[in-house]
Structure 1
Amino acid sequence: MKVALIDYDSGNLHSAEKAFQLMGREVGAEITVTSDPDVAARADRIVLPGDGAFPACRAALGEVDGMADALREAVLNRGVPFMGICVGMQMLADLGHEYRPTEGLGWIGGEVVAIDAPDLKVPHMGWNDLLIDNPHPVLEGVATGDHAYFVHSWQFQVKDPKHRLAHADYGGPITAVVGRDNIVGTQFHPEKSQAVGLRIITNFLHWQV
């Protein structure tokens, strides 16, 4: 199994690479950090991390020649399992509103808006409980009340409720996991979420779409 972690200069990939290497040993996964669209196109699993502002991440992804087309062909046309992490998950949306309206990939309907929690500190940073909304193979063995590690000020509001797989409570529901078809995304960092995050990575590597 070949797993491509997409490198587009929008975040430190070291911890994600190590977590996927650790959990990939069981299935003999070859983990490659890459900015080569040909490598992404040949992968059996694709992971899109992202740290920073939505517009900057979206622009950086677009600046990697051929990458957006390679991802679209692999994920939408061939059904390769895909995971977005943090801003990589937010970019699945139709539109992000951070700083200025910016088009996302449009793979899961919805918009990325500011967290509205006037009585709480923003960014939403640290450990929070997951509340499962819809069962999914990538969440197998993960239960309501399990903890994940979040760092973000903006949240993905999905258009279709069935695409929100889990949320956290932070002055109201905050989307934590999204998914449809062969696509999933986590707002939190699974590579920093200890046993729960490693379980989600393992499930993703075993996921038969």
Structure 2
Amino acid sequence: MITIVDYGMGNLGSLVNIFRRIGVQARTESDPERIRNATKLILPGVGAFDAAMGRIGDITGLRDVLDRKALVEKIPVLGVCLGMQLLTDGSEEGKRPGLSWISGRAHRFPPGTGLKVPHMGWNSVIPLQENELTTGLGEELRYYFVHSYYVRVDDPASAMLQTSYGLAFDSGICRDNIFGLQFHPEKSHRFGMNILKNFARM
């Protein structure tokens, strides 16, 4: 069973629905004691970086459980949109540290490029490596984005997918059992369903 972490800042219903469409059971859960039983975790996120890390910290025991599942038990973990940014060390958007599961930071798209911020809509994604999440996806990929901050990882080995919007940024990141997607797979039709099927098979 896939557990979607509910800390009050995620697009939970859409994720549950897309998993239902591909025949995979997924549940939302906010109780750290019940999250302890998860075999796969999704960390969603919509909104501001500091507010999200604050919410996670406000739920007694949640941070400890997340760290244990990701770093000790090493179950498959997927961060989506803001959830991907939370996997890193921090963001220019705020002052709170991130989860620091993947070394890197989120940066605001620079002004003066002539491009609208937030980056919103469909964009092409280039696979940089093949792993359990990206296998079989093909080379011509398009996903739906809504974000004002982009991630750059410190270790090139953690860069999984790349997208260009005024500059090249890491639209997918990974480290061992931990994966992040900047785009919304639940809004990306067959492209999103295929990558979520891969996650469900892990």
Note the residue ranges of structure 1 that are not aligned, 5 or more in a row: none
Quote the Cα distance in structure 2 between the aligned partners of 1:138 and 1:12: 21
How far off is 1:199 after superposition? 0.5
- In the alignment, which residue of structure 1 is the partner of 2:21? 22
Quote the Cα distance in structure 1 between the aligned partners of 2:115 and 2:139: 22
| Root-mean-square deviation (Å) | 1.2
Q: Would you say the 8 A contact 1:90–1:156 is kept in 2?
A: yes
Q: Specify the SS of the correspondent of 2:10.
A: coil
How far off is 1:104 after superposition? 0.2
- In the alignment, which residue of structure 1 is the partner of 2:114? 119
Q: Would you say the 8 A contact 1:85–1:189 is kept in 2?
A: yes
Q: 2:39 aligns with which of 33, 44, 55?
A: 44
1:106 partnered with 2:100: yes
Query: Moved runs in structure 1, 4+ residues, more than 3 A?
Result: none
Quote the Cα distance in structure 2 between the aligned partners of 1:119 and 1:132: 26
Identity %: 36
1:84 partnered with 2:79: yes
Q: Would you say the 8 A contact 1:129–1:144 is kept in 2?
A: no
The count of aligned residue pairs is 201
Deviates more, 1:45-54 or 1:113-122: 113-122
TM-score, scaled relative to structure 2: 0.95
TM-score, scaled relative to structure 1: 0.92
Q: 1:139 aligns with which of 134, 144, 157?
A: 134
Q: Specify the SS of the correspondent of 2:42.
A: strand
Quote the Cα distance in structure 2 between the aligned partners of 1:171 and 1:20: 32
Query: 1:107-139: per-residue Cα shift (whole Å, max 9, x none)?
Result: 000111111262211111000000111212201
Q: Specify the SS of the correspondent of 1:43.
A: coil
